[in-house]
């Protein structure tokens, strides 16, 4: 006779995720996109700034699959390099938000009482602030540098994460295994780090996946307005804003970077939704 | 109810004060002032200008007198448009932005709400998948991409609609409104779908059906009210989003609204204009959040009961 095999939460979730076709498409697309962007410098046949002024803006052809821009620079190369920046900003700023949000939420949830209510009041107040306006302001006032961009975007996006983690920690805190950890004399830090956060990981992963597209959108929005990434660096947002300028004559300059950005955002959202269904079946789909 | 309202209004004050304070000192901390141009200005002229705009006083005094003026509803003169006050500029842009926001909201609520309810009536069918996929497109497609694409297709290739301006030629309000509203239509479609799905299996709907009401009345009168509640609570934050979305849409379509003024002021380091618009927009956002909370409370019998008990 065979023993029935136990199914862990993660195995269970991965089975459910693999059944979700849209989410798997999203995952595959993302992996391919990230890999392509990582190895860009070694696979593209043209330089990032390599101009061919005789060529000018040319439509897609065998030599330039996605055409060239008005300086005769290869669009595929530029889109891949732009993707490096867009994805990099997306991941790093989300990471900043993740760290701040999880720490803040876990402390508030674990401390409870007055500390918790003060900390969460503060979050409520920050929710009401018009952050978009502040980010525009920050970028204008202090110049457009990348570190500030990360900090500004990270500072906006941690709020929801803090709320989610706090709720999770509050629930978990009352369970016996935490009591046991307290009784054997573990420090609050160890309890939060080793017992509470790992158990709250599901919602955190889901929300992180859904934060990345928001962050990328924000970066693209700022770059589009001329407040984000500055030339000679490039990002999808910046490429789109160049594309808009000449879309009447050379629509491919707008369409290709646009498609790259939109598909990536799609993929991330589908993956996030799929992860939510897989890891957190109780959460409503809204 | 009144107690709830007063409590929420009182909460709004520190938020707005925080916005003003942060913006004030942030803008002052910026390197380079509005009058630090490459051209050397005569020191006396410089001094006179600074005196006119109170820049010669200590920072804290500037701050306090700004607050004093603000209480009286005066946002001060604009740095960049001499002779014009920030109030004037805001109120010349506001009607346009408000109109744009209103149309965008209409697009969002009508299209999004209909799509969501429609999808919820037959879940997991084609009637569900098509509107929900479209809503995903709406959510993922940034306005600065959707706008130019719409212009390219409907303005340039098909030549059906004007590609820029506001109120100058017939139909020029269509594309900006759709561009701004599309994302929120997507969110509202998803919210109303999940809201309706939850309500459709509720006991009180079974009761309504059991007493013989036609399906049409059950949906329109009983289900919609409960099912669309999440949408109402979403409207407050959505308005805030619409305001920042209008930055892009107004830039893309060259509409002389508040959003464009703000971006211009930010680029020109027009201190008072930045401060004024930020304060104004923040107050608007706080107000809309408040409004949507109150409406949600009013629509939800359970919450209404709580307020009655409390007051």
A60 inside 8 A of chain B by CB: no
Domain that holds residue A212: 23-30+75-280
Which A-chain residues 228-267 have CB contacts (< 8 A) with chain B? Answer: 237, 240-241, 243-244, 247-248, 251, 254-255, 258, 261-262, 265-266
Residue B20 within a domain: no
In a domain, B92, yes or no: yes
Predicted pLDDT of residue A79: 86
Residue segments in chain A with a per-residue pLDDT below the cut of 70:
1-7, 56-57, 128-130, 143-144, 280-286
Q: Please check whether residue A144 lies inside any domain of the structure.
A: yes
The shortest CB-CB distance from B278 to any of A133, A254, A261 is to A133
The pLDDT score that the predictor gives to residue A31 is 92
Q: In CATH, what number is assigned to the domain containing residue A161? A: 1.10.3720.10
The verdict on a CB contact (< 8 Å) between B152 and A269 is no
Q: Which residue of A has its CA nearest to B28?
A: A141
CA distance B217 to chain A (A): 26
CB contact under 8 A, A286 and B140: no
**Would residue B121 count as lying in a domain?**
yes
- Chain B partners of A224 at a C-beta cutoff of 8 Å? 144, 248
- Quick check: A128 contacting B, CB < 8 Å? yes
Please enumerate in sequence order all residues whose Cβ is within 8 A of that of A28, keeping only pairs 6 or more positions apart, or say none. none
A11: how many CB neighbours lie within 10 A of its CB? 11
Contacts of A225 in chain B (CB under 8 A): 247-248, 251, 263
Contact at CB, A258 and B149, closer than 8 angstroms? yes
Test the B interface: residue of A130, A134, A145, A246 with most B CBs within 10 Å: A130
Total domains, chain B: 1
Of B136, B152, B190, the CB nearest to A247: B152
For residue A244, the chain B residue with the least C-alpha distance is: B148
In a domain, B136, yes or no: yes
Task: Say yes or no: A283 contacts chain B, CB-CB below 8 A.
Answer: no
- Quote the CA–CA distance of A156 and A215 in Å, as a whole number: 9
- List pLDDT tens digits, range A232-262: 778 888 888 888 888 778 888 888 888 889 8
**Helix or strand or coil: residue B21?**
helix
- Domain range spanning residue B226? 86-310
The verdict on residue A212 lying in a domain is yes
Query: CATH code at B110?
Result: 1.10.3720.10
Let me know if residue B293 belongs to a domain: yes
Please report, rounded to a whole number, the percentage of residues in chain A having pLDDT higher than 70. Answer: 90
Structural domain count of chain A? 1
With CA atoms as reference, the chain B residue closest to A236 would be B145
Question: Can you list the residues of chain B whose pLDDT is less than 50?
Answer: 310-311
- Considering only CB atoms, A240 lies closest to which of B27, B29, B144, namely B144
Taking CB atoms and an 8 Å cutoff, what residues of chain A touch B26? Answer: 134, 137-138, 141
Spell B111-143 as b/e; 16+ CB within 10 A means b. bbbebbbbbbbeeeeeebeebbebbbebbbbbb
CA gap A115, A118 in Å, rounded: 5
Q: CA B12 to CA B203: how far, in whole Å?
A: 38
CA-based nearest distance B157→chain A, Å: 9
User: How far is it, in rounded angstroms, from Cα A216 to Cα A226?
Assistant: 15
Q: Is A9 a domain residue?
A: no
DSSP B62-120: HHHHHHHHHHTT---B-SSSTT-BHHHHHHHHHHHHHHHHHHHHHHIIIIIHHHHHHHH
Q: pTM here?
A: 0.78
Q: Please indicate whether, in this complex, the C-beta atoms of A269 and B140 are within 8 angstroms of each other.
A: yes
Which pLDDT score, from 0 to 100, does residue A215 have?
86
Q: Is B30 within a domain?
A: no
Please give the pLDDT value at position B53. Answer: 65
Interhelix angle for A252-279 vs A75-111, to 10°?
A: 30
Tokens 């004050």 correspond to what residue?
B13
Closest-CA residue of B relative to A144 is B267
pLDDT of residue B311: 42
Q: Strand, helix or coil at A190?
A: helix
- Interface A:B, Cβ pairs < 8 A: 112
Task: List, for residues B190-244, the tens digit of each pLDDT value.
Answer: 888 888 888 877 788 788 888 888 878 888 777 887 777 778 777 777 877 787 7
Task: Tell me whether residues A142 and B18 touch, CB distance under 8 A.
Answer: no
Asked if residue B203 belongs to a domain, the reply is yes
């Amino acid at each position: 006779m065979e023993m029935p095999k136990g199914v862990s939460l993660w195995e269970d979730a991965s089975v459910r995720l693999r059944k979700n076709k849209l989410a798997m498409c999203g995952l595959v697309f993302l992996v391919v996109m990230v890999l392509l962007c990582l190895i860009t410098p070694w696979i593209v046949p043209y330089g990032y700034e390599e101009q061919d002024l005789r060529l000018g803006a040319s439509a897609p052809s065998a030599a330039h699959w996605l055409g060239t821009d008005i300086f005769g620079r290869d669009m595929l190369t530029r889109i891949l390099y732009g993707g490096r920046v867009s994805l990099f900003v997306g991941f790093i700023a989300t990471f900043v938000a993740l760290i701040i949000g999880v720490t803040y939420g876990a402390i508030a949830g674990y401390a409870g009482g007055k500390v918790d209510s003060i900390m969460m009041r503060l979050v409520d107040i920050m929710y009401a602030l018009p952050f978009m306006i502040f980010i525009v302001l920050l970028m204008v006032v202090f110049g457009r540098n990348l570190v500030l961009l990360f900090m500004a975007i990270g500072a906006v996006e941690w709020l929801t994460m803090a709320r989610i983690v706090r709720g999770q920690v509050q629930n978990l805190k009352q369970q016996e295994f935490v009591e046991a950890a307290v009784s054997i004399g573990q420090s609050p830090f160890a309890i939060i780090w080793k017992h509470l956060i790992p158990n709250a990981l599901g919602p955190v992963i889901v929300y992180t996946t859904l934060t990345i597209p928001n962050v990328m959108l924000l970066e693209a929005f700022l770059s589009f307005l001329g407040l984000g990434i500055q030339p000679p660096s490039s990002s999808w947002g910046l490429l789109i804003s160049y594309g808009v300028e000449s879309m009447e004559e050379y629509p491919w300059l707008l369409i290709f970077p646009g498609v790259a950005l939109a598909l990536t955002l799609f993929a991330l959202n589908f993956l996030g939704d799929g992860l939510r269904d897989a890891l957190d079946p109780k959460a409503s789909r809204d | 109810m009144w107690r709830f309202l007063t409590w929420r209004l009182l909460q709004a004050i520190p938020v707005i004060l925080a916005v003003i304070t942060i913006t004030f000192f942030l803008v002052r901390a910026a390197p380079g002032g509005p009058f630090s141009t490459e051209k050397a200005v005569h020191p006396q002229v410089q001094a006179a200008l600074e005196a006119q705009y109170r820049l010669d006083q200590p920072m804290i005094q500037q701050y306090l007198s700004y607050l004093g003026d603000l209480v009286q509803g005066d946002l001060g003169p604009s740095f960049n448009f001499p002779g014009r006050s920030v109030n004037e500029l805001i109120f010349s842009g506001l009607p346009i932005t408000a109109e744009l926001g209103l149309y965008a909201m209409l697009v969002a609520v009508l299209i999004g709400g209909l799509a969501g309810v429609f999808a919820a009536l037959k879940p997991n069918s084609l009637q569900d998948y098509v509107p929900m996929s479209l809503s995903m497109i709406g959510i993922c497609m940034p306005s600065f991409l959707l706008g130019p694409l719409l212009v390219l297709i409907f303005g340039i290739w098909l030549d059906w609609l004007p590609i820029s301006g506001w109120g100058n030629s017939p139909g020029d309000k269509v594309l900006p409104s759709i561009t701004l509203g599309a994302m929120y239509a997507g969110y509202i479609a998803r919210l109303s779908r999940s809201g309706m799905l939850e309500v459709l299996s509720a006991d009180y709907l079974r009761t309504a059906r059991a007493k013989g009401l036609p399906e049409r009345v059950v949906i329109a009168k009983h289900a919609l009210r409960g099912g669309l509640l999440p949408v109402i609570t979403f409207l407050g934050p959505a308005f805030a989003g619409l305001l920042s979305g209008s930055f892009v849409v107004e830039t893309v379509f060259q509409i002389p609204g508040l959003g464009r003024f703000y971006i211009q002021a930010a680029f020109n380091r027009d201190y008072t204009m930045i401060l004024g618009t930020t304060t104004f927009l923040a107050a608007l956002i706080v107000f809309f959040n408040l409004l949507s909370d109150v409406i949600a409370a009013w629509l939800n019998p359970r919450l209404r009961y709580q307020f009655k008990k409390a007051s």
